[in-house]
């Protein structure tokens, strides 16, 4: 797994904090957008990296939104992963062209601690900018998941998304 050039860029508002440390139960004072590129044949690596963060964000009063292309999240997986079933929302069968616009709208609302969406192509600088601005406005995190095929490690993925994972049923 690797992250693209846009990954891990954060934008923060000026804030004053008496604690001086981030609290998982309070909304973050910054927006974060990260584009995570992973190999379809190694989805566990992505789960290992994201699950601790998602578990921590699950302590907030806000929702977690998953915009998935095809499969439905498994209730059993959500519970086994330690994610709050009552705070996880999913919209499945999203087309990639609607995913970006939906992520921007959801991030902007401030109702979600994290918005996760799957896209088949790398974000353009303009798309990244729109997502980052929305994440700042909503004090939220956004993760753009971009799978690549196991044999296509150096090139761009051909059209279509296919996620192999025990996350789904």
Report mean pLDDT in 10-residue bins for the chain, 169 residues: 43 32 49 88 78 92 91 88 92 83 96 94 93 96 86 46 41
Count of C-beta atoms within a 10 Å radius of residue 75: 11
Using a CB cutoff of 8 Å and minimum separation of 24, what contacts does 152-159 make? 153/39, 156/121, 156/122, 157/120, 157/121, 159/120
Nearest-10 Cα torsion for 16, 88, 95, 11:
10
pLDDT of residue 29: 54
Q: Which residues contact 47 (CB under 8 A, 6 or more apart)?
A: 81, 165, 167
What tokens appear for 145 in the block?
Answer: 């998941």
pLDDT of residue 70: 78
On the 0-12 / 13-18 / 19+ scale of CB atoms within 10 A, 133 is middle
Asked if residues 70 and 52 have their Cβ atoms less than 8 Å apart, the reply is no
pLDDT of residue 116: 94
Going along the chain, which residue ranges are E strands? 2-3, 9-12, 30-39, 63-67, 88-91, 112-118, 141-148
Nearest-10 Cα torsion for 107, 78, 8, 37:
-110
């Amino acid at each position: 797994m690797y992250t693209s050039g846009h990954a891990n860029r954060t934008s923060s508002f000026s804030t004053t904090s008496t604690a001086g440390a981030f609290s998982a139960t309070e909304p973050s004072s910054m927006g974060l957008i990260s584009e995570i590129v992973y190999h379809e044949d190694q989805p566990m690596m992505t789960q290992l990296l994201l699950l601790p963060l998602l578990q921590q964000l699950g302590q907030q009063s806000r929702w977690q939104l998953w915009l998935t292309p095809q499969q439905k999240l498994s209730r059993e997986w959500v519970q086994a992963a330690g994610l709050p079933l009552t705070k996880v929302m999913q919209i499945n069968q999203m087309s990639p062209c609607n995913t970006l616009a939906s992520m921007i709208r959801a991030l902007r609302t401030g109702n979600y601690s994290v918005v996760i969406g799957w896209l088949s192509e790398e974000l353009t600088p303009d798309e990244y900018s729109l997502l980052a601005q929305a994440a700042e406005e909503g004090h939220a995190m956004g993760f753009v998941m971009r799978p690549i095929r196991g044999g296509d490690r150096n090139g761009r993925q051909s059209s279509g998304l296919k996620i192999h994972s025990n996350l789904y049923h």
